[in-house]
Amino acid sequence: MVRPEIGKTFVADGIKTNYHDTGEGRPVLLVHGSGPGVTAWANWRLNMPEIAKEFRVIAPDMIGFGYSDSVGRITDKAIWTNQLVRLLDDLEIDQVSMVGNSFGGGVTLAFMIAHPDRVDRAVLMGAAGLEFPLTPALDFVWGYEPSREMMHESLKMLAWDQSRLTDDLIDSRYHASIRPGAHEPYHATFGGSDRQANIAMLSSREEDIAALPHEVLVLHGKADQVIPQEVSLRLGNLITHSDVRFFGECGHWVQIERMASFNRAVIEFFSHGLKF
């Protein structure tokens, strides 16, 4: 059976990365969020085909997620930024534009700070990356224990439009979360008793964020229960060359619930910058 979640394979230091590579042109790197059962394909399946009409799209499963290998509990986001460096080196790509969703936004910011010359522009969507008090929704999602009911409740936290939570979607994410070896690394990293520490781990220093020279587009759903709007406002105020946009009738899933607007905004921004 062909599984759309499985793409190409890259191995560095014995750790396998599953990634998708589609389209042609200037490269765009998509970094997914941290919900249970997530993969790059699940996160970006509605966006990759459209963005790939204009750009080369690369979307990896981050270490500990999807069909990439796990390494147990992760306490330093550098393991993910290093994974991206090694992947880009293997693909012989010097510079990319990036889209970071939630957890992936924190990783994207850390990557931009550590490797500024390797990033052209970036989109941060419902992004982590700054300290904030743990929200009940994020606490629930990170505390996921495998059951169909708990998957349904977790997805409710992510979507404004509950009609999107079809049986097929719930079942696919639930079965992904119980695939052998899937839940253990997720729980080890995010499911501990001190989940506030996960936010700290994904955060970067404000002075480092403020020093970023890149153009950044910050996107956020108005009904997001997972990451407070205040985080995106703070990012917008810190980053000199940035715009902040809020999407109505939208929760934490801007790329899904406002798919057409999201795809259009990303393509225009990466084509023309903040002047579009």
Rounded alpha-carbon distances, angstroms, from residue 241 to 9, 105, 187, 214: 35, 17, 37, 6
252 catalytic residue (yes or no): yes
- What gap in Å lies between CA 2 and CA 179, rounded to an integer? 16
Do the bridges between strand 56-60 and strand 27-31 make them parallel or antiparallel, or are there none, so unpaired?
parallel
**Beta carbons of 251 and 162 less than 8 angstroms apart:** no
Of residues 102, 177, 204, 232, which has the active-site annotation? 102
Could you say which DSSP state residue 25 is in? S
Of residues 20, 32, 183, 252, which has the active-site annotation? 252
Structure token pair of residue 68: 């990439």
Rounded alpha-carbon distances, angstroms, from residue 179 to 182, 186, 209, 275: 5, 12, 37, 45
147 catalytic residue (yes or no): no
Burial class from Cβ neighbours inside 10 Å (0-12, 13-18, 19+) for residue 98 reads buried
Q: Degrees (nearest 5) of the Cα angle 38, 41, 46? A: 115
Rounded alpha-carbon distances, angstroms, from residue 53 to 47, 50, 57, 91, 188: 10, 5, 9, 20, 38
Of residues 61, 204, 224, 242, which has the active-site annotation? 224
224 catalytic residue (yes or no): yes
Give the residue among 49, 48, 46, 69 at the shortest CA–CA distance from 59: 48
Burial class from Cβ neighbours inside 10 Å (0-12, 13-18, 19+) for residue 208 reads middle
Kindly list the catalytic residues. 102, 224, 252
